[in-house]
Homo-oligomer: A and B are copies of this chain.
Amino acid sequence: MSVDGDDATPKRTAFFVSDGTCVTAETLGRSLLTQFEAVNFAQQSLRFVNTVERASEARRRINETAIYDGARPLIFSTLVKPDVQAAIKESNALFLDIFATFINPLEQELGCRSSVSTGRFHGLHNVDEYSSRIEAVDFTLNHDDGGTTRQLDEADVILIGISRSGKTPTCLYLSLQYGVRSANFPITEDDLEGPALPDSLVPHRDKLVALSTEADRLQQIREARYPNSRYASFAQCQFEVRQAEALYRKLRIPCLKTTLKSIEEIAANILDLVDLQRPSRSSRPKAHV
C-alpha cells in the first residue's frame, strides 16, 4: 500500500521493550520474526523503560513509527510494572506480553506467587556468576591461539583448528555466555605435515574439539585479511582443510563443520558434544530482562 518504500515487501517495525537490558525480549522476538519470511522487519530496542516518563517517551516513538510505516508496530514486552506497562499498552501497536503469558501457569504449577520485580535480579548471588564468567574470559584470552600451554588441565574444552576456522570467537562466546573455560590451539602447517597433534595437546586429548570449514569459505575469509597471498589461495586452503580433517579422523577427535553456522550454533554443538552440563555453580537461575 505504501508508495515511499524502497522495497516491494511490506515493512513492519518490531519494538523490543524492557525495564532492563532487553535481552529476553530481543531473543524471543527475533526468533518469532524469523518465522515470517514474507515481511521486512525493522527492529528497535527500547531499554530501561522503568518509569512512566520513559514509557510515555517510548509510546511517542512507537506511535510515530506507526504513522511513518503506515502499519502498526509489534511490541515484544517484558515489562512487569503495571503503570509502566499501561503507558506502553496505549500505543497504536500489537502488544505481546512475554511474561504474563507464562507466569500464571508457572504460579499454579509451583504453588507459589512470583515476585513481579522490575528487572532487579541482581543481588549478591550474581557476584559469583559474574566472577566465574570473568575468570573464564581471562582464561580464554590467556589461552587464545595457543598463547600458553600452562594450566591446560584447567580447561573445560580445547578447540583446535587451522587458521581462521572460527576458534577464537567460539571460545569467547563459550566463556562469556556460559562461563566455560575454553582454550584454543592452532593446527599449523608443521602439524599437518606429520600429520600429528602438537605435543602439548597430547595429554589433553579428551578435551579436544576440532573446528573445520569448507575450503572455499575459508578462502573468502582469509582473502579478506591477506588478499592474493599464498595463505589465502584456494589450493592452500584446500590442502590445509583436507590434511587437518584427516588428522582429526585418525585421532578420533570430534570435528565440527562451521560453514554457515552461527557462533551460537557452534557453541551449542560443543556444549552438546562435551556435555558441559555440570552442576551449576549457584542454585539461583540467572536472567537478563
Q: Report which A residues bind B (CB closer than 8 A).
A: 7, 12, 14, 20-24, 27-28, 30-45, 47-48, 72, 74, 78, 94, 96, 98-99, 101-103, 105-106, 109-110, 112, 114-117, 121-124, 126-127, 129-131, 133-134, 137, 141, 144, 166, 168-169, 172-173, 176, 221, 224, 260-265, 267-269, 271-272, 277, 280, 283-289
Smallest CB separation, A264 vs chain B (Å): 4
**Known contacts A40-B283, A126-B262, A130-B263, A23 near B27 by CB under 8 Å:** yes
Smallest CB separation, A124 vs chain B (Å): 8
Query: Are B265 and A288 interface neighbours, CB within 8 A?
Result: yes
Smallest CB separation, A14 vs chain B (Å): 8
Smallest CB separation, A266 vs chain B (Å): 9
Query: Are A267 and B38 interface neighbours, CB within 8 A?
Result: no
Q: Which residues of B contact A12 (CB under 8 A)?
A: 110
Query: Are B24 and A268 interface neighbours, CB within 8 A?
Result: no
Beyond the given pairs A32-B106, A48-B268, A74-B109, 15 more chain A to chain B contacts, judged by CB atoms under 8 angstroms and listed by A's residue number, are A20-B268, A21-B264, A34-B285, A37-B115, A48-B269, A98-B102, A122-B265, A123-B260, A126-B262, A129-B262, A131-B221, A133-B169, A133-B263, A141-B144, A169-B176
How many copies of this chain are found per oligomer? 2
Query: Are B137 and A172 interface neighbours, CB within 8 A?
Result: yes
- In the bound assembly, the distance between CA atoms of A110 and B40 in angstroms comes to 11
Provide a sorted-by-A list of 12 A–B residue pairs whose CB atoms are within 8 angstroms: A28-B102, A32-B99, A34-B284, A34-B285, A39-B110, A45-B271, A94-B106, A96-B102, A122-B260, A134-B166, A137-B169, A169-B176
Listed from nearest, the 4 A-B pairs whose CB atoms lie closest are A21-B268, A35-B114, A31-B287, A33-B285
Query: Are B35 and A277 interface neighbours, CB within 8 A?
Result: no
Query: Are B36 and A168 interface neighbours, CB within 8 A?
Result: no
- In the bound assembly, the distance between CA atoms of A112 and B38 in angstroms comes to 8
- In the bound assembly, the distance between CA atoms of A112 and B268 in angstroms comes to 31
Query: Are A28 and B30 interface neighbours, CB within 8 A?
Result: no
- In the bound assembly, the distance between CA atoms of A221 and B41 in angstroms comes to 43
Among residues of B, the one whose C-beta sits closest to the C-beta of A120 is: B34
Query: Are B30 and A27 interface neighbours, CB within 8 A?
Result: no
